[in-house]
Amino acid sequence: MKEHLEQICVTVNGVPRKFVIGDGVGCVSPSETLLDTIRDRLGLTAAKRSCEHGACGCCTVIMDGDAVASCMVLTADCDGSQVTTLEGLCDPVTGELSPLQKAFADNSAFQCGFCTPGIIMSTRALLDRNPSPTEEELTEALSGNYCRCISHYQVIRTVMGFINEMNRKEA
Amino acid sequence: MKKFDHIKVGSYEEASQVIQEGEGAIEPIAGGTDLLGTLKDRLLPHYPKAVVSLKGIATSRYIEERDGMLVIGAGTTLKEISESPLVKDHSQALAEAARSVASPLIRNTATIGGNVCQDVRCWYYRYPDSIGGRLECKRKGGDTCYAIAGENRYHSIFGGMSTGGSSCQRACPAGTDIPGYMAKIRENDWAGAADIFFQYNPMPMMTSRICPHGCREHCNQNVYGKSVNIPAVERTLGDYILEHKEDYYKAPEKETGKKCAIIGGGPGGLTAAFYLRREGHQVTVYDSHEKPGGVLRYGIPHYRLPKTIVDQFCQALENGMGIRFVMNTTVGKDVTVEQIKADNDVVYFGTGAWSQPVLGLEGENLTEFGLNFLEEVNTYLKKAMGENVLVCGGGNVAMDVALTACRLGAKSVKLVCLEQREEMPASEEEIQMAIEERVELYNGWGLRKVLESEGKVKGLLAMRCLSVRDENGRFAPSYDQDDTIELASDFIILATGQKVDISFLGDHLSSQLRTSRGLIDANAESGRTRAQGYYAGGDAVTGPDLAIRAIAAGRNAAMAMNRDLDAEKVGNPSHTQEEEVLGPESFTTFDVDGVERTKAVRLRELSASERSLTGEDRSSLDQDTAKQEACRCLRCACYAVNPSDITPVLVMEGARIITTEREFSAKELFTSKLTVQHILHRGELVTEIRIPKTLGRTRYDKRRVRDAIDFAIVSLASAFDVQAGQIKSCRLVLGGVAPVPYQLPEVEAYLTGKKISPETAKEAGEIAMRQAFAMSGNEYKIFMCKDVIYNRVMEAGR
């Protein structure tokens, strides 16, 4: 197989990141997943490594507007993509939580919290597209995010409340 | 995940080329949601060196309407399809199916091209390599399907699908479709079983008694208990065939006028004669013996293969089929090969291995040759011999000689062989019998010299055999000359092998056909020799070997001769089908209770004291018992179900699938073979899907355990055109219930023209499940299918 050296650029949380795809030191292996890259290279550990099969949603990030399971995406395929992780929702300067994150915290919409970053990212992707989803639409959007502590009820209540509050503020 | 390289391409053509050049080491990756899981778990025995990403093909994502068809690029994501107003308008079923796949996270990346090519979700197939090693199941080219006798609640309710021959079939030198005839016997269709058997071998009544049946070692019931007693079932089938011999050994309807000569009336020669005669040729068999049968008659003792059976078979060939036998004729002496050839179009040599090899042993001339000994006893049922017999050799012939000597009344029988007990080539059953009949085994001794006194045998001096084979597994015994024993005997029989003698060919032919090993040089597949019109097979070509190999060679040569004689024209029905073609109409099934039985039936066997020289040691099973044993056959095939939600819809809608090379109907691509990969060439990629407008309303119903990230237990893709409560037309295809999407033409025919009512809806479900075959743990799926169909039919009326 020929030596493979190729430079790609992925914008993560607004910051363009350049990677060399290859097998050398410091290179991103062609078989590396986006999850490995953001966690192990960029230190963004909100996205969790869990089922590794795209079945649990713990590794959810937003890629070009869509929530995706970052464990099932090859970094080498992400050239030119815009990726947002949970860290990217916070204020880049102060680190202050975004209103959606605050809503989760204020309403204890989690138990152990392991799946929460993924749930928030799926919610965010939905709201970016559809600011006033119905509860059914929300449930559907979150159907790929599993929570073993059954925090779903609080999550749905919290997000629906958050949506109502946002809409009230806007009105 | 183990490393692989990542190759970007800009077009399908480029991708195809890279994959073709990769020679199997490069795989395409689209959305990746199926492939990455497969790679992470290292499910497959092979692992790609590189993946070719189709994501960079800019023109692969589109949904459009063209000439009334919905046209979708293979790179379109399932999310795009599920949300597209065009799709919803054109095919609600497709939109629903796309939306039912996995979860939004997956649908955002997964493509329709990847979806229709995805791998099964069977939990045995998917068992991760990291936990004790992946399972090499039938689908992966392994031997069996673990779901047959395992956990199968999500598996097929319409049977499995063949993935190439089963392991027993591969182990049989004749390639006999053992699971095929077992399946017929399970249905009590003995004639059907015989038809399958006769494609490979015309004498089950012989092979069931004499073949070592290597197939049993490869029977996958060995995983759970004892292998299926294949010879016992075969024997009952052989009995059935002899009882109906006029149906199976009959003259061809039409004569071709071609003439074939078979030299040697043993198993191989008679097989060739059978298949040639069946095709309408005139066949003459020449043999030096008084009666035909070769080793079947003269080599195998009566107690293993009664000569009445050989007689019946040979008479059926002669009187039933009209094969001519010219006996007591030694070719090369009484008549030359050239003379025979002058009278015939083709000549087959199946002359076997009848000669005694010279060992160069001191006193060898005082010994008896094993095959001659058997021949004499088989002919006259008596033989003058000594009191203390010593048999040399560790194979089945040596066992036959030893047992025959016992039953002739020898005071003692010793058997000496090079091999250790567990290395002996003889079958374990035969060795056990010999021990029961007081044959004393001396393992690990080689022959040094015959001890004599005044020209009379006194015994054998044997030397220690240190090893039989060299490091390459070749026969090369090494001895300790100083470690010897004397074995007293007054009658020594050498059963240490036979030799091929082809001097009958005469100088001219011999110079053309003789190999350096003194055998006949013939093509292993076709039996063709360098001399036109001459064919050969069996021991004369291979050296001493199994009868079943000679039978296979005789059959294959007969097929080659038949082709060379160009005789298909006369219109005898072609019997020599090369391969069973399995379409979706012939799913494989097994007996759910039978496969759970781990014990094999055994033939009734006389006790050591009851056995005699002439009476058969074992007796056949009755048909019912044999059928019970056939029920233990696992019918190894893949019993997983199609995983895709999209393919049942595409089959239902009569979609066309465009690849980089061809165009398929969805039915052809998704239902005719077990996997899409069995149909697509290397590097051939799905590029586009075209869906015509289906009459009526299309829907996709999916039943699953969880509402997200789950595959269908049962799904139904349907279209109903209903007017005033009457079904004008409809289409129904089930998913998740068979190895491929399962079409329901009978249900469609039944429903068309019917008024929708609960009775009609219920009956539709009943018709749909007529062919259903529940495995041990999935009968519930049958009820679920009926329910899905009932609800959909009722719904269609609203």
Distance, in Å, from the CA atom of B505 to the CA atom of B531, rounded to the nearest integer, reads: 12
Residue A4 pLDDT grade (very low, low, confident, very high; cuts 50, 70, 90): low
Q: Are residues B37 and A73, on separate chains, in Cβ contact within 8 Å? A: no
For domain B167-246+582-630, the CATH architecture is Orthogonal Bundle (1.10)
Do residues A162 and A168 touch, judged by C-beta distance below 8 A? Answer: no
Residue boundaries of the structural domains of chain A: 6-85, 99-170
pLDDT at B350: 97
Kindly determine whether residue A72 and residue B32, on different chains, have CB atoms separated by under 8 Å. yes
Is the CB of A54 less than 8 angstroms away from the CB of B37? yes
Residue B198 is predicted with a pLDDT of 96
Q: Test A21 with B6 for CB contact under 8 angstroms.
A: yes
**């049977």: which residue's tokens?**
B159
Place B163 in a pLDDT band, splitting at 50, 70 and 90: confident
Lowest mean pLDDT among A2-16, B3-17, B161-175, B333-347: A2-16
Length of chain B: 798
Q: What is the rounded average pLDDT of the residues B686-696?
A: 96
Residue B443 CA to its chain's centroid (Å):
36
pTM: 0.89
Q: Is A22 on the interface with B (CB under 8 A)?
A: no
User: Using CA atoms, how far apart are residues B239 and B229, in angstroms rounded to an integer?
Assistant: 16
Out of B33, B79, B707, closest to residue A54 by CB: B33
Cβ–Cβ under 8 Å, residues A137 and A66: no
Query: Which of A48, A51, A68 has the highest number of chain B CBs within 10 A, making it the mutation to test binding with B?
Result: A68
**Per-residue pLDDT tens digits for B758-796:** 999 999 999 999 999 999 999 999 999 999 999 999 999
Q: Which tokens sit at B106?
A: 């997956």
Q: Which residue of A has its CA nearest to B21?
A: A1
Summarize the confidence of residues B368-372 as an average pLDDT. 94
With a cut of 80, say whether residue B454 has pLDDT above it: yes
- Whole-number pLDDT of residue B431: 94
- C-beta neighbour count of B497 within 10 angstroms: 18
Note the pLDDT of residue B573: 55
Mean pLDDT on B435-451: 95
Average pLDDT, stretch B352-379? 93
Residues in chain B within 8 Å Cβ distance of A69? 33, 105-106, 109
Contact A144 B8 (CB under 8 A): no
Contacts of B235 (CB under 8 A, 6+ apart): B204, B205, B208, B209, B603, B620, B621, B626
Residues B611-633, mean pLDDT to the nearest whole number: 96
Residue B572 pLDDT more than 90?
no
pLDDT, tens only, B511-547: 999 999 999 999 999 999 999 999 999 999 999 999 9
d(CA A99, CA A90): 9
Homologous superfamily assigned to B61-119+641-796: CO dehydrogenase flavoprotein, C-terminal domain (3.30.390.50)
Closest residue by Cα to residue B542 from B366, B350, B287: B350
Which CATH code is given to the segment(s) A99-170? 1.10.150.120
8 Å CB contact between B21 and A49:
no
Please check the confidence at residue B175 and state whether its pLDDT lies above 60. yes
pLDDT digits (tens, 9 = 90+) for B105-162: 999 999 999 999 999 999 999 999 999 899 999 999 888 999 999 999 999 999 999 8
User: Cβ–Cβ of A143/B108 closer than 8 Å?
Assistant: no
Query: What is the CATH architecture of B1-58?
Result: 2-Layer Sandwich (3.30)
Examine the pLDDT at A134 and tell me if it is beyond 90.
yes
Give the pLDDT confidence score for residue B567 in this predicted structure.
66
- Residues of A within 8 A of B104 (CB-CB) are 67, 122, 140-141, 143-144
Q: Which CATH architecture has domain A6-85?
A: Roll (3.10)
Maximum Cα interatomic distance, chain A, rounded to a whole number of Å:
61
Residue B580 pLDDT exceeds 60: no
Q: Output the six-digit token pair for B191.
A: 């004639």
Predicted pLDDT of residue B473? 87
Query: What is the ipTM metric for this complex?
Result: 0.96
Contacts of A144 in chain B (CB under 8 A): 102-106, 708-709
Confidence category of residue A1, pLDDT binned at 50, 70, 90: very low
Q: What is the pLDDT of residue B164?
A: 79
Q: What is the mean pLDDT of chain A?
A: 94
Q: Find the chain B residues whose C-beta atoms sit closer than 8 A to any C-beta of A.
A: 1-6, 8, 29, 31-33, 36-37, 39-40, 49-51, 53, 55, 79, 102-106, 108-109, 707-709
Q: Which of B352, B357, B361, B242 is nearest to B308 (CA)?
A: B242
pLDDT at B577 over 80: no
pLDDT digits (tens, 9 = 90+) for B456-505: 999 999 999 999 999 988 999 999 999 999 999 999 999 999 999 999 99
> Is residue B576 over pLDDT 70?
no
Tell me the C-alpha to C-alpha distance, in Å, between residue A39 and each of A52, B322, B582.
14, 82, 50
Q: What is the pLDDT of residue B574?
A: 53
Query: What Å distances lie between residue B659 and B12, B77, B582, B686, B687, CA to CA?
Result: 9, 18, 24, 4, 5
The domain limits of chain B are: 1-58, 61-119+641-796, 167-246+582-630, 254-335+500-570, 364-494
Q: Provide CB contacts within 8 A for B554, sequence distance 6+.
A: B267, B268, B269, B270, B271, B272, B273, B275, B348, B350, B527, B537, B538
Contact A54 B106 (CB under 8 A): yes
Q: What is the overall mean pLDDT for chain B? A: 94
A21 touching B (Cβ < 8 Å): yes
Instruction: Give the integer Cα–Cα distance in Å for B495 and B475.
Output: 16
Q: Do domains B254-335+500-570 and B364-494 have the same CATH topology?
A: yes
Whether B53 and A144 lie within 8 Å, measured CB to CB: no
Q: Could you report the per-residue pLDDT of B397-417, keeping only the tens digit for each? A: 999 999 999 999 999 999 999
CATH class of the B254-335+500-570 domain in this structure: alpha beta
- Please write the tens of the pLDDT for every residue from A54-94: 999 999 999 999 999 999 999 999 999 999 999 999 999 99
Instruction: Answer whether residue B727 shows pLDDT above 70.
Output: yes
Domain B364-494: which topology? FAD/NAD(P)-binding domain (3.50.50)
pLDDT in tens, B185-201: 999 999 999 999 999 99
**Residues A34-40, mean pLDDT to the nearest whole number:** 97
Bridge partners of residue B450, in order along the sequence: B460
**Is the model's pLDDT at B579 over the cut of 50?**
no
